[in-house]
A and B are shown apart, each in its own frame.
Chain A
Amino acid sequence: MPDKRLIWVGVALLLAMALFLFWGLRGKVWFIMELRATKLAALLCVGIAIGTATVLFQTLSHNRIMTPSIMGFDALFLLLQTGLVFALGSVGYAQLPAFGGFVLEAAVMVAAAVALFGWLLKRTRQDLQLMILVGIIIGLMFRALTSFAQRLMDPSEFTMVQGAMFAQFSGVDDGALLASAVVLLGILAWLWPRHAVLDVMALGRAQARGLGVAYDWLQFQILCTIAALVSVSTALVGPLTFLGLLVASLAHSLMRTHRHSLLLPAAALIAALVLVAGQTLFDRVLQLQSTLSVVIEFGGGMLFLVLLARGHIR
């Protein structure tokens, strides 16, 4: 029997999905439906990936104001993408198959993230503040390197990269979407049996090890997972800094529990709900284009400030 609160969020999500698909449907119905379904699938993938990744990252870092993007995960992804365009040229980059290209990018991203953040966690394990600061600075460095590489490009290559720089929910590529969905499902299938051991890991490294959990190995695996999840969402729509913080925080205050069997689905569902409902509102009611990410980032950013100002995060 799933938790009642989860069911409510699930029902709300289904309603939002139905509204998104069927509201204001006229003209070439099947053509529009197909467009909308693709977009809806992308929104769901991104929501689930970001919600899950943020809860996982907060569990690993034992800190409730952390998101993978504060630590520069998505900056790393953009750097990799810019690097690819830079190395292959716009023609070579455009010729990469969407599916294979995505898998390649995700794999490189996972390898790079694990090398970097694994090292960072190890070096600064004693000092969480230090780890946050180093993460922010490394993220800045990635962004600086990215824009430096972009200066060196010719204009056609630059337009190629520019598309990836800002969160956009329209114009999602079918091949990338399929690859994302496959990666996402694989990750969720791997993650689900581990929800209970995540509860133990949230107790902290020393406690978890004392209870017989192979903490370092699991932490390494989950870092890989987070990197892959961030790749999924960044590849589909671009960087979203504060959405994860927003939904992880909502999930925590809704569920009021330490149990990942509730927290993970709650965060995933809430993130999907925020994205789908927000996109419906913007597309159908306000008739605006591609400003959803701005509003979400604004809301999430405000929440971040509130959390910081309150001083302690529960």
Chain B
Amino acid sequence: MIVLSSPILAQSGWNTDPGTTFIKVIQWWITTNEHYTDNGRVDPNLTTGLYTSSVYLSTGLSDRWTGMAYLPVFSRAVHNNLRSGTTSELIISGDAINHVGDPLLGIQYQILRSRRLAWSSGLHFGLPFGKTSGGTLGILQTGDGEFNQLIRTDLGYSFSRGSRNGYLNGYVGFNNRTKGFSDEIWYGFEGGIQILPDQLLTILRVYGITSLGNGAGDVISDGSSFFSNNSAFLSLSSEINYELSDGFGLSVGVATLLSGRLIFAGTNYNVGFYFRIQEKEREN
């Protein structure tokens, strides 16, 4: 599964109501000429980009079960030309590949739901559908080529301030990776509050991945650092969701790394739209 410094999984303590399907179409991208090294410092690199168009959906299967899918239907990895600053001659030709990314399929179970608190756990499978070696030099990737299993538990708390609703959510997860990649601990905390009741929601997230470093020593990838073994990061992101009409809205987000290891540095962005489909609407 891809290690993106952006939340690709919108699991929270709350399940999706039965008969409701939430769909979000997201364009996520990063372009950067820096990366975090193995000792956490920032070094330069040739400008590299990853652009992913994805669909995220969650559907309420029952009172307690929610099905989830993250589907990166189009992913483009690209690096710039490298030219001599002295003669302008081409040293390394720019390159790009277009492919699908690694999808994530999962299911979530609502363990507890009270007026304020919600606790759920989920199991997710990262499928190696992305390309692990592409382009002329074979260094471009849209996936890491390994099948992984992520188990994650979320605890949420909702609150109200006058007419505004808000929530807090924290999670921790264990990601079991295959093909010699190190397993990972996922963690995060976020808070959201409605700036305009039922219309404008702002979210602030801090989340990260820590590698357990228990992978095989011979896993040496030639690919880009979006998919390196033993990558780790701590990220800060904010997101604004604006509900244009009942069940349809726009979403804009930005994220940056507070620290990292073997991962591209820089700011990443996402824009998208979302909509909710109720069972009654489908019947109509």
- Asked if chains A and B come from one complex, the reply is no
